[in-house]
Copies of this chain bind each other. A is one copy, B any other.
């Protein structure tokens, strides 16, 4: 079937959106099939004559290798290279009809794209079937792994109570219904987990909540009686494929004669909006995202506990790695990462990694999103900085930790930069701020010590972290993105604290803990706002050998010693059977 039968003159598979794991997977596999390029980010545009792949600097070399002569590589970020959105509105002919799979683009992105296409009187055309799927005969089936309940002893709140809270929220406006399309929101709402997407314990599903009904649309083969019993009668399980037909008939279920009565989250896809009708819909930041961002006391205690276990695995790994390098063993970055996974996999409640381990030696550490290719990666060098960013999923929480080591003799430059990063890390860890303060406001606290030396880093300072869910979640964060200025940090939120410094082609430094926002007891309470602080839950020593102690204030020095005493106290009981790890931990946790 050719695209002309759909009466479109171009087709687009848009690029990833980091907040939409289900889209990424769906876009990635189709992009890889049609173009041959299997990097993690890129947009495909196919016209009647030509084919274009847009990707960024991380993937120029890889794309050049993988694309054949049918394809033109568009190097995003280079001067004079348009974004794919600009390309559609500027480079295509007038009156283009651009085919798109409406489940693979957010309604908001489609709306702004439509606006920019007006200049050339072009239009987006929603295709009921994805054009790639028409020609992809041996397409592997989508993962359909077993869904399982998360016990309330881990989630801390029954799904009945969560549904009640959500309905109370809907009543405020009031809305007649809410459509939930983010996979982590569905999983959180029903206290269910799955494994359809690597690293993210979610499953393909949609949900609709009205005042009388809760509907979960899921491939019924993934759901067994345990799940049905867990959900109980008030939750109706419907086949996944009935979701869009249900939305089209929603007006028959609830009275939608007034406008704007259906709430959908701001990441909802275009297909949902088209199925219900734009005029019936209010698009807002999902209230479930806001609920989910604030962890309850059970989840917080789970975060604490899983980080103690995680700290034990990290200790065993770093002690092992040091010994290997000291004994001259040749280890590549991927082999090392595998060993770390092995240690983690022995931990209680372990359910897989939370992202691909970044195990990087020397210059690879300066590539912020580096992950070692098992078939082609570097040997870890004792005389280079080693940066390891890793994490795991546990039933009681999610971890994400970065430590930076030098197993030989670090240079003064490396030590000074590491110390500046550490000072930024401590500045966030010890922060106290009034309710209402956003992560945008305090981001500069992490950068100040680096700026003093004319250093900086080109990424955020912290992202939200899911509870046995996606390791990156919104809406809060600490960073220079103005979006972080719309969400105040609130007691119970989780966020990473990960300043860094990267010397291109030489080394990378990052120190990352997960912290939880908690109420602070201050001597005063000016403005009756209440004040907040952070509690760190990550427990792994910070490499003293990389510290230039002369730069530290007395308070910073005390912070480090206290942190190390805490790490030793909490983690050492789990290391009874690993004397190497215990000895290593005692050494690394001794006072500076």
In the complex, the answer to whether B523 meets A454 with C-beta atoms within 8 Å is yes
**Does A126 count as interface, using CB distance less than 8 angstroms?**
no
The interface residues of chain B lying within 8 Å CB-to-CB of A529 are 456
- A-side binding surface: helix, strand, loop or mixed? mixed
- Residue among B433, B444, B448 making CB contact with A451, cutoff 8 Å: B433
Total copies of the chain? 2
Given contacts A454-B524, A454-B525, 20 further A-B contacts (CB under 8 A): A432-B448, A432-B452, A433-B444, A433-B448, A441-B443, A441-B444, A444-B445, A445-B448, A450-B526, A451-B531, A452-B522, A453-B522, A454-B520, A454-B522, A455-B524, A456-B526, A456-B529, A458-B527, A501-B526, A554-B554
**Does A302 count as interface, using CB distance less than 8 angstroms?**
no
**Does A442 count as interface, using CB distance less than 8 angstroms?**
yes
Closest residue of B by beta carbon distance from A502: B526
Q: Shortest Cβ distance from A291 into chain B, in angstroms?
A: 27
**Does A555 count as interface, using CB distance less than 8 angstroms?**
yes
Q: Shortest Cβ distance from A412 into chain B, in angstroms?
A: 11
**Does A577 count as interface, using CB distance less than 8 angstroms?**
no
In the complex, the answer to whether B451 meets A434 with C-beta atoms within 8 Å is yes
Q: Shortest Cβ distance from A509 into chain B, in angstroms?
A: 13
Within 8 A of B (CB), among A401-447: 431-434, 437, 441-445
**Does A553 count as interface, using CB distance less than 8 angstroms?**
yes
- Residue among B442, B450, B455 making CB contact with A444, cutoff 8 Å: B442
30 residue pairs from A and B, CB less than 8 Å apart: A431-B448, A432-B451, A432-B454, A433-B444, A434-B456, A437-B444, A441-B444, A444-B444, A444-B445, A445-B445, A445-B448, A450-B526, A451-B531, A452-B522, A454-B520, A454-B522, A454-B523, A454-B525, A454-B526, A454-B531, A455-B524, A455-B526, A456-B527, A456-B529, A458-B527, A501-B526, A553-B553, A553-B554, A553-B555, A554-B554
- The proximity string for A residues 553-589 relative to B, scoring 1 for CB distances below 8 Å and 0 otherwise, is 1110000000000000000000000000000000000
